[in-house]
Structures are given as C-alpha cells and as structure tokens.
A and B are shown apart, each in its own frame.
Chain A
Amino acid sequence: MQLARVIGTVVATVKAPGLDGVRLLIVQPLTRDLEPAGTAVVAADAVHMAGAGELVYIVAAREAAEAMVDRFVPVDHAIVGIVDAVEPIRGGGR
C-alpha cells in the first residue's frame, strides 16, 4: 500500500459494467515524506468518505477490486483508508 493525496474527481457517464456507483478520484501517489511521486492515478473510493486534499492510502492490482462491494469490478487502484497521521519512529531511519 502507498500513501496518496486526493487531487480530483472523475465523472464518467459511459463506463464498464460494474463501475456504476463507484466513486472515482484522482490521487497523487506520495513518498513517505509526502512528496509527490510518479503520475497521478484514478482510484475507486472504497471507503466512501475520501474528500479533496485528503491523505489516503491506496492499494493496487487485484486487491483494489477486493476493496469494493462487488469484488469483480474493473478497478485497479482503490482508496482503502484515510490517514489520520503518519507517525515517524524516532531514530527509525527518518
């Protein structure tokens, strides 16, 4: 799982079956120091609560679909949690 920031939403009227009712958000993956890393991706919101600017963690690949109510949906990135805090461990390498 990776940290990511919600930076937008995607609206699509015509979409694959199974994506109805799935909220699609644009998320920017982050390094552990919360710096942007790589390109933004569209992720399904599996927690139904992620909002703009929020720090979340995402899961990729098959496990993204596992996060959804229907587990056989065409989803490859999903938001599976909202981050309250990332707590560094003193002396743990940060």
Chain B
Amino acid sequence: MANSPNPFLKFFTSLRLTVVLLVTSLVLVFVATLAQVNLGIYGVQEMFFKSFLVWVEIPNLGFSLPVFPGGYLIGGFLMINLVTSHAYRFRLTWKKAGIQLTHFGLIVLLVGELITGILQEDFSLRLEEGETRNYSESFRRNEIVLIDKSDPTFDDVVAIPEAHLDDSDPIQHGQLPFRVVTRAHYPNANLTMLDTLPAGTPGVVANLSDEGIGPRLALLPAPFTYNDEERNLPAAFVELVGTDGSLGTWLLSPMLTQPQTFDYDGRTWEISFRFEREYKPFSLSLIELKHDIYPGSTIPKNFSSLVRLQTEDGSEDRESLIFMNEPLRHEGYTFYQYQMDSANGFSVLQVVRNPARSLPYVACVLMSLGLLWQFTFHLTKFARRRS
C-alpha cells in the first residue's frame, strides 16, 4: 500500500481499522447473544444492532450512557473502510477483478442491511371472513388517536405515537383544538374492573381519570416484556386541555376495545390507544380461509386465505390465494400467511415492506461471481504453468 499523506484516508483505508471493527463486531454479537436471554430477539436487535450506540441505563440515576458502538456505527465504519480501501487501492486488472467484485458484493450487502434496518416495516393484518380492511397494525408499536367523527363520510385522525407520551411538554397539533397532556404512561399494564378487585390489592396505581370508562377501572402496571411471544399493552392517563381549561382526563389502553367519545366545540371526538395503524391505498377482503389437515389426523397440511384486493382508484380488482411460501405481493408489500383460527373464522397475515429485499440476492450473486472468477483465474494460471 502506498503511504497516503492524507490522515483521513490513512485512517479509513487502514487494515488495522478493519481488524478493530471486526473484533468489535464479534464482541457486540457475543454480548448481544447473551443479552437475548433477557431481551428477546426484538429487544436485542433494537438495542445492539439497529442502533449507533449501545445505551445502558445507570441504575438509580435515571439516565443512560453509551457504552459501546452499535451495529449501525460498526457497520457504517466497516462500509466506509471497505469503500475507501476499495477506491484507494483499486487497480483495474483481470487478476484482481474477482476480489473487487466480491468486495463490491459485500458493500451491496451492508447497504442492503442498513436500508432494511431503517426502512423495513412489519405489520399484521387480521381479517375475519367477509371483512375488508385497508390498514394493517404494528406488531409492537402503539399510538393514541384523536378522531374527529363529525363528518358523515370521513374520519379526521390525529395520531400520536406512543414515544411522545414521555415528552414533558404538552402535545399540540394544528388539527386539534386542545392540547394533549400525558399525566402518566405505563409501557405495559393490566386493567381490571375496579369493583371486582379485592380491597387493598397491591400494585394498583392512583386512578387519575375522571372521564369515560376510566374511573371504573383499576390499573396495575406490569413489567415490560421482551418475550417475543408476548406483547406489551401500554396504558396512559391523558388529559385534554382546551382554551377554557381542562376537558377531563381519560384512561387509555389498547385493551379497551370500545373507543371513548366526547363532544367539544360542537364536534364529536373519539379518543383511544390502539395498535399503530398503517393505511394503504388498497384494501383486502377475506373471502375464504382454509385449514387442511392430513386425512385421519389432526396434523395441519395447509393454511390458506383467499383474498380480494381492490385499489382505491379501481384500477385493480383481483382475487389471490395466500398460503405458505406463496405470499401476495402488491405495491412493495408482501402479505404472508401468518396465523389462522378456522374455528372462529379469522386469518392473520403478516405484512412486510422492505425496499431493499432484493439487495441480498444481488450481493450473493456478485460475491459468487467474484469468487468464481478469482478461483477460475488462479486455477487457469496454475494449470498453464503446470503444462
């Protein structure tokens, strides 16, 4: 390698940097694997890999400190290291073409993983037979929605992601004639009817609500779960404050199936805490679901959902059968058969949108071609020398 006078180039083209980054990533993977016992796959991905820095909460002090580089930082540096080394050392010769192609494939793979990590969305779509929906729901994220129901045809929705509930400032939005103030937020909690709870039950928090069903409920905070099989069900006491003062405080939770309504300034509003929704410019209807079993047994053979896809503009109206390994693909979304309860007539589809889903395949092809070229080139050279 030629010595570079530029310290920036020298640093980022350094092989030592590559080694340090690879060792750091090994440590990260090792620690994350151990942490998976308590955090589960999703928690580990968020904390260690889909982050620039690994933050650890300092006990009793209430704040977190970065203690280690996260996956994005290590991956980012690796990519810069790879790209700069590639550019700096690049010599267009047949002898090195395979190595260059292999490294280029690796860059594509890293970029693809970054795009996937940032942009991939994973939702569920639960449909009963005969039901039509134009939205899917997040597996993990929740939102508070305030819906102006006054229009007979449309609902005007203001959605507040759960992450905003921990903000100290009131939440304001141009379409809301009031401010939203979080009085308390519990990332996971159980609700039960107050009148069924024995007196003196430990763990019940002070009920701050004075509107809706809230005053009749008891709220028991639960530990935040990282179990991949479980879902956190948050709860919050939310106060709405208009120009003339407080409108009241509501207890909200995705466990409360019936939205709570109120009137303000001549308009009817609905407030609820629900699984975060993503609306789509098309709808799916579940026509029929099938749960086939092997004859003479209860062993599942096949789960399938026959759905009808209709776009808003009427340009597409077709039926599609979704079953294992045969998802429906439409407008960048992929609908997989996820869960089914044929006895109770509903099917759950997993809805995935990943703009970079083809990049790993491209990367593998590039790396395979590069390696094939490199080995073939050397083998040919070796064979010629022998002869």
A binds B: no
